[in-house]
Amino acid sequence: MLHTKGSSSETSSLAPYETPSLFDLQKLFWFRGGSDNHLDQVWPNLFLGDAWAARSKATLQSLSITHILNAAAGPYSINTGARYYKDLQVVYHGVEAFDDPSFDLSVFFYDAANFIQKALCTPGGKVFVHCAMGISRSASLVLAFLMIHENMTLVEALKTVNSHRDICPNPGFLSQLRDLDIKLNEERKGVRESATKEP
């Protein structure tokens, strides 16, 4: 029995990655491994958190945060903005997103991912990404960054972030991340296939 189990896992690791169903992705959140702090480091120099942390300049200063991505910007949400942080010398980027399954967050995936990537490539760069709770909107943008710039699959990105912070993107956002995963996976397959065809 043990031998069979081992050999099946060896086989599955050789099989090409396929994006799981939405239900299977949601099951990954059943196993809570992270924390529910106001903010957590989920990747080197990348922090994910909530509105309390976003408004706590002392906390941000103590962590030497240089860039802030607000995934709940706007007058009806976490209305901080660049002026709020003018005495901190941080680079601010706001995304007016609503934590609603029908909201299209995917239009912000690449902009947000590029902002995070540029920030992390800045000497001493430390990025804080937040929304109201730090579990859905901001978490989705962090996942998109890991998929786009760190070449992670959605499953790898979910496991990476969830091991440091309990996150739970709403079903609509998860579905949009799933679409991104399928697209990136197809692109990677294309690159691999063209590489093998080259003489």
| pLDDT tens digit sequence for 116-161 | 999 999 999 999 999 999 999 999 999 999 999 999 999 999 999 9
Closest CA to 28 of 150, 151, 177, 180: 177
Which residues are CB-neighbours of 64 under 8 A, at least 6 positions away?
124, 126
The helix/strand/coil state of 69 is: strand
| pLDDT tens digit sequence for 26-79 | 888 877 677 779 999 999 999 999 999 999 999 999 999 999 999 999 888 898
Q: Catalytic: 168? A: no
Spell out the CATH class of 33-190.
alpha beta
Q: Among 131, 142, 147, 177, which one carries the catalytic annotation?
A: 131
Residue 2 burial (CB count, 10 A): 6
